[in-house]
């Protein structure tokens, strides 16, 4: 039950109640002014500064947005709902519907002042309700795109809470877990999804440690759902957006009733029995890390890599003023170039790389296919997040544009910014570009262009040395640099109009990036080494590779070109590995041998299969009558051992083999009541007072001051489990199964 003031409580229970509510929406989804993000060395731990999420624009930032309040006259009705379905565990999602008054047509395109923003999905939304001037949260989440009812002159927003976000979040950045607790795993997932530690509360997991989990490529919602099923736990977001993980003992540990419902505050009461679980089969094939090293991949097809090629920048100069200026790019070698002081301006478009490999958010690598003159065509969807690193030799200011994709459509600018960087300092500028508008269009990712321009008026060294150590997946740095400082009073300019232009060429190495499917869930790879065509000298269980020409004197593989190939990077996630080589030579080559060894996770040869049934219950009620007479089957690889599987099956059967009462009430609306609350229900007809847990809740307020609440309560076994240093030996507490 949400905490409320005595004033609120008094107003809530009075026979005459003045309703209040609020609907807040952040139409523009902008961070509120005055929001300060936590800064190490400046912010106070426990203070008001919030942790900047790594996932901006998501529900993880719900407490940071600037919200606009919809006036009460603008709301026709609102409703929130949440319910745990048939099985007593899993993830529970809260939803909302807000019907807005659109008589003024503000949400329609013709005259709608709010039309544009209101058509966008994912608008942060908060609903609160209460009495007098005091309200408490009813819902925190995001809205979906609205539905306009022209005849009724209403606009309906459907809202969903953080569970939807978690369900659709695919893990890409969390490392594999080996023998970690469920709490550790969920906390890591929360961090990857951008939730701060004050945005979730995790009860202690009752599962044993999870032997192995690589979340890469899996949806966190699916992982958490499975973790919940493996220990009959519950995961949900409360009205304020705080996420909760409840272990299966939560209800027994929180069984003190917080509110009493009687015939004096219930409009209606209906009762039925809960689902019966009297036979459970649990199957599992848990992954665990194997000792030793296995062969995880053998090359089954050659891969082609182009010869190194050259590209460069056109630098323009005005020889009437300054003749000793030039500008070029090379691969990783700093060049002294342009003279230095006085008034100047420069511009130019630089192809930093042709054929660079780019990895998208899903880990897929896109790379040069050798076509289109070194650029290559790539099929790319999704978004790219990367960083430009710029290094100033002597201090300067720049304007950078990163243009991507080039020569397609309207050539949108990915990133554009002016910035200053101190002398000898790296400036890192991050950007994200979403390619969703160009789905199914081919882009030339090979031409990542940087346009550099700048102006200066003065008579001091304002030199332009800088390094573009571009996108994080790019392998090497390229340099631009100024030449020896000129202390004279010279005036020169570089401008877009070519005047005595010169193309200065720099070497652009070529890359080969491949993605291979491994035979195992692989935890780590033995670092690959260059073997050459003669792999006989390679030690056992050593990853290695070799390159050669197509034909030559070295046999069917031709000339050994392995020495020209530098393994720039490799990584492994799950059963997929990525490797990137740079061809530093001027000869095309083929990857002709690649053997990878690594540490792997695998399932046991004999998977777990445990069943527990209660014959008395089956005789009395039949086999699992709520499950169509079938054994409840839980197939979950997070059940680590047979002993644990038996324990979980026993828990489910012993707690749900007997039908309990499910109570559905229509009652005076009590806004503070929350999912999981224990309440006392007094039935005057039977004379019984029964304690039951709130498993479903619907709140609805209408324009006619109707405030309705429907609650679904379920009775459960309340069992005190033995807790060391709390329970007494010989007391009523029992050992948890």
Closest CB 667 distance from another protein, rounded Å: 8
Stretch that binds another protein, among 39-47, 169-177, 338-346, 701-709 (CB under 8 A): 701-709
Contact indicator for 228, 234 with CB cutoff of 8 Å: yes
CA distance 471 to 428: 10
Residue 52 vs 266, nearer CB to another protein: 266
Closest CA to 147 of 157, 162, 136: 157
Q: Which is nearer to another protein, 19 or 618 (CB)?
A: 19
Q: Largest Cα–Cα distance of the chain, in whole Å?
A: 105
Only one of the segments 175-183, 223-231, 262-270, 412-420 lies at the binding site for another protein (rule: CB under 8 A); that segment is 262-270
Alpha-carbon separation of residue 343 from 200, 451, 457, 490 (angstroms): 56, 20, 4, 8
**How far is it, in rounded angstroms, from Cα 67 to Cα 35?**
13
For another protein, the binding residue among 7, 109, 111, 263 (CB under 8 A) is 263
The secondary structure of residue 563, as a DSSP letter, is G
| Closer residue to another protein, CB minimum distance, 374 or 671 | 671
Distance separating alpha carbons of residues 258 and 450, to the nearest angstrom: 63
Burial string for 227-244 (b: 16+ CB within 10 Å, else e) reads: bbbbbbbbbbbbbbbbbb
For another protein (CB under 8 A), the number of binding residues is 22
Distance CA 303, CA 589 (A): 8
Q: Least distance from C-beta 109 to another protein, angstroms?
A: 23
Q: What is the CA radius of gyration of the chain?
A: 32
Looking up tokens 């008579």 gives: 459
Of positions 69, 517, 633, 706, contacts another protein by CB under 8 A? 706
Which range of residues in 13-21, 362-370, 494-502, 528-536 is near another protein by CB under 8 A? 13-21
- Among positions 33, 39, 256, 264, the unique one binding another protein when judged by CB under 8 A: 264
Q: Does 108 bind another protein (CB under 8 A)?
A: no
- Three-class secondary structure assignment of 232-259: CCEEEECCCCCEEEECCCHHHHCCCCCE
- For 28, 282, 338, 414, the CA distances from 737, given in Å and listed in that order, are 51, 15, 77, 57
Which of the stretches 75-83, 305-313, 496-504, 704-712 binds another protein when contact is defined by CB under 8 A? 704-712
Report the alpha-carbon distance of residue 326 to residue 328 in Å, rounded: 7
Binding of another protein by 704 (CB under 8 A)? yes
Please say which residue, 303 or 707, places its beta carbon nearer to another protein: 707
Beta bridge partners, 280, equal 612, 632
Indicate the residue among 92 and 269 with the shorter CB distance to another protein. Answer: 269
Q: What is the nearest approach in angstroms of another protein to the Cβ of residue 184?
A: 47
Q: Give 266 or 661: the residue with its C-beta nearer to another protein.
A: 266
Return the number of the residue (19 or 136) whose C-beta is nearest another protein. 19
Six token digits for residue 86:
């048939």
Pairing of strands 259-261, 678-683: parallel
Under the binding rule (CB under 8 A), the answer on residue 300 touching another protein is: no
- The least distance separating another protein from the CB of residue 21, rounded to whole angstroms, comes to 9
Phi/psi-derived region of residue 532, left when phi > 0, alpha when psi is between -120 and 50, beta in every other case: left
CB-nearer residue toward another protein: 399 or 668: 668
Buried b (16+ CB within 10 A) or exposed e, 658-687: bbbbbbebebbbbbbbebbbbbebbbeeee
Q: Which is nearer to another protein, 415 or 668 (CB)?
A: 668
Nearer to another protein, 72 or 371 (CB): 72
Nearest CB to another protein, comparing residues 287 and 701: 701
Minimum Å gap between C-beta 14 and another protein is: 8
Q: Which is nearer to another protein, 75 or 126 (CB)?
A: 75
Is 111 one of the binding residues for another protein (CB under 8 A)? no
Structure tokens at 510: 């070529």
Q: Which residue number, 303 or 668, has a Cβ lying nearer to another protein?
A: 668
Can residue 269 be called a binding residue for another protein (CB under 8 A)? yes
**15 lies in the binding site for another protein (CB under 8 A):** yes
Residue closer to another protein (CB basis): 130 or 215: 130
**What does residue 45 show for φ and ψ, rounded to 5 degrees?**
-65, 130
- Check residue 668 for interaction with another protein (CB under 8 A): yes
The reply to whether 440 sits near another protein by the rule CB under 8 A is no
Q: How far is the CB of 17 from another protein (least distance, A)?
A: 5
Kindly tell me which residue out of 115, 399, 438, 707 binds another protein, with binding defined by CB under 8 A.
707
Regarding 698 and contact with another protein (CB under 8 A), the answer is no
Q: Say how far apart CA 88 and CA 250 lie, in whole Å.
A: 12
Q: Pick from 39, 256, 268, 553 the residue near another protein by CB under 8 A.
A: 268
Q: Does 684 bind another protein (CB under 8 A)?
A: yes
> Quick one: which of 616, 684, 696, 694 has its CA closest to 654?
616
Tell me how far, at minimum, the Cβ of 73 lies from another protein, in Å.
8
Of 118-126, 242-250, 256-264, 673-681, which segment contacts another protein by CB under 8 A? 256-264
Please report whether residue 153 would count as binding another protein according to CB under 8 A.
no
The nearest distance, CB 19 to another protein, in angstroms, is 5
Using alpha carbons only, give the angle 602, 605, 610 rounded to the nearest 5 degrees: 105
Subset of 62-91 contacting another protein (CB under 8 A)? 72
* Window contacting another protein (CB under 8 A); options: 165-173, 203-211, 260-268, 722-730: 260-268
In angstroms, the CA 129 to CA 656 distance is 35
687 binds another protein (CB under 8 A): no
Nearer to another protein, 4 or 572 (CB): 4
DSSP 532: -
Distances (CA, A) of 229 to 87, 243, 429, 494, 645: 9, 17, 43, 66, 11
16 binds another protein (CB under 8 A): yes
Stretch that binds another protein, among 258-266, 517-525, 634-642, 673-681 (CB under 8 A): 258-266
User: Contact with another protein (CB under 8 A): which of 267, 413, 428, 498?
Assistant: 267
E strands along 549-657, which residues? 565-573, 576-583, 589-602, 608-613, 632-635
Cβ neighbours around 357 below 10 Å, total: 24
User: For residues 260 and 503, which CB has a smaller minimum distance to another protein in the complex?
Assistant: 260
Q: Is 669 in the site for another protein (CB under 8 A)?
A: yes
Cα separation of 223 and 192, whole Å? 13
- Rounded to whole angstroms, the Cα distance separating 677 from 670 reads 12
* CA 58 – CA 42 distance, rounded (Å): 25
The minimum distance between CB 101 and another protein, in angstroms, equals 12
Show the site string, 27-66: x = touches another protein by CB under 8 A, - = not.
----------------------------------------
Least distance to another protein, CB of residue 11, Å: 11
For another protein, give the closer residue by CB, 379 or 684.
Answer: 684
Q: Which of residues 616-635 bind another protein (CB under 8 A)?
A: none
> Which residues make beta-bridge pairs with 691?
680
Instruction: Kindly state whether residue 356 participates in binding another protein, applying the rule CB under 8 A.
Output: no
What residues contact residue 725 under an 8 Å CB cut-off, 6+ apart? Answer: none
Under rule CB under 8 A, residue 700 binds another protein: no
Q: Are 139 and 125 in contact (CB under 8 A)?
A: yes
The residue (of 265 and 372) whose beta carbon lies closer to another protein is 265
Give residues 538-597 in contact with another protein (rule: CB under 8 A): none
Distance of CA 606 to the CA centre of its chain: 35
Residues binding another protein (CB under 8 A): 15-19, 72, 262-269, 668-669, 684, 702, 704-707
């Amino acid at each position: 039950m949400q905490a409320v003031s005595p004033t609120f409580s008094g107003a809530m229970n009075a026979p005459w109640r003045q309703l209040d509510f609020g609907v807040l929406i952040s139409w523009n989804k902008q961070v509120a002014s005055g929001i300060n993000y936590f800064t190490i060395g400046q912010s106070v731990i426990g203070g008001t500064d919030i942790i900047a999420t790594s996932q901006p624009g998501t529900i993880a930032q719900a407490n940071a947005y600037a919200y606009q309040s919809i006036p009460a006259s603008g709301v026709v009705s609102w409703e929130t709902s949440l319910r745990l379905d048939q099985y007593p565990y899993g993830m529970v999602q809260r939803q909302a519907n807000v019907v807005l008054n659109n008589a003024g047509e503000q949400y329609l395109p013709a005259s709608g002042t709010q039309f544009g923003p209101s058509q966008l999905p994912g608008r942060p939304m908060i609903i609160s309700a209460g009495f007098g001037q005091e309200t408490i949260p009813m819902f925190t989440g995001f809205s979906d795109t609205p539905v306009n009812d022209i005849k009724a002159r209403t606009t309906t927003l459907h809202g969903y809470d953080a569970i939807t976000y978690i369900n659709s979040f695919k893990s890409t950045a969390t490392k594999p877990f080996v023998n970690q607790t469920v709490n550790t795993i969920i906390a890591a997932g929360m961090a990857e999804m951008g939730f701060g530690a004050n945005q979730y509360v995790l009860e202690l997991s009752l599962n044993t440690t999870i032997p192995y989990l690589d979340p890469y490529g899996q949806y966190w919602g699916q992982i958490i759902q499975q973790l919940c099923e493996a220990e009959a736990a519950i995961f949900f977001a409360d009205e304020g957006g705080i996420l909760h993980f409840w272990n299966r003992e939560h209800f027994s540990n929180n069984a003190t009733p917080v509110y009493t419902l009687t015939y004096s505050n219930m409009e209606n009461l209906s009762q039925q029995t809960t689902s019966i679980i009297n036979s459970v089969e649990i199957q599992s094939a848990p992954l665990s890390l194997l000792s030793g090293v296995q062969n995880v991949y053998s090359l089954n097809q050659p891969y082609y890599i182009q010869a190194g090629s050259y590209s460069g920048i056109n630098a323009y100069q005005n020889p009437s003023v300054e003749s000793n200026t030039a500008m070029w790019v090379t691969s990783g070698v700093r060049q002294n170039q342009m003279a230095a002081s006085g008034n100047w301006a420069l511009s130019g478009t630089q192809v930093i790389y042709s054929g660079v490999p780019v990895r998208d958010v899903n880990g897929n690598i896109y790379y040069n296919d050798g076509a289109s003159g070194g650029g290559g065509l790539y099929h790319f969807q999704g978004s790219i997040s990367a960083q430009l690193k710029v290094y100033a030799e002597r201090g300067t200011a720049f304007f950078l544009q990163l243009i991507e994709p080039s020569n397609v459509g309207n050539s949108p600018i990915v990133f554009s910014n002016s910035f200053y960087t101190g002398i000898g300092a790296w400036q890192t500028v991050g950007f994200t570009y979403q390619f969703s508008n160009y789905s199914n269009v081919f882009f030339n990712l090979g031409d990542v262009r940087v346009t550099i321009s700048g102006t200066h008026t003065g008579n001091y060294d304002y030199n332009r040395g800088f390094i573009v150590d571009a996108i994080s997946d790019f392998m090497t740095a390229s340099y631009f640099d100024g030449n020896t400082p000129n202390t004279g009073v010279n005036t020169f300019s570089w401008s877009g109009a070519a005047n005595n232009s010169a193309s200065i060429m720099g070497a652009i190495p070529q890359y080969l990036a491949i993605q291979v499917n491994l035979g195992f869930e692989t935890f780590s790879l033995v670092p690959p080494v260059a073997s050459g065509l003669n792999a006989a000298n390679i030690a056992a269980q050593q990853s290695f590779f070799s390159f050669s020409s197509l034909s030559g004197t070295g046999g069917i593989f031709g000339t050994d070109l392995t020495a020209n190939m530098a393994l720039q990077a490799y990584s492994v996630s799950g059963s997929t590995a990525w490797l990137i080589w740079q061809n530093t030579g001027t000869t095309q080559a083929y990857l002709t041998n690649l053997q990878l060894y690594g540490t792997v996770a695998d399932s046991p040869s004999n998977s777990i299969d445990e069943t527990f049934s209660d014959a008395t219950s089956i005789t009395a009620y039949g086999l699992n009558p709520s499950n169509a007479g079938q054994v409840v089957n839980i197939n979950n690889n997070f059940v680590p051992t047979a002993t644990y599987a038996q324990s979980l099956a026993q828990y489910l059967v012993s707690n749900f083999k007997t039908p309990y009462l499910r109570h559905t009430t229509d009652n005076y609306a009590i806004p503070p009541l929350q999912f999981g609350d224990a309440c006392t229900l007094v039935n005057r007809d039977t004379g019984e007072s029964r304690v039951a847990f709130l498993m479903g809740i619907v709140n609805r307020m209408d324009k006619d001051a109707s405030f309705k609440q429907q609650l679904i309560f379920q009775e459960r076994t309340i069992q005190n489990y033995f807790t060391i240093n709390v329970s007494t030996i010989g007391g009523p507490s029992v050992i948890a199964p």
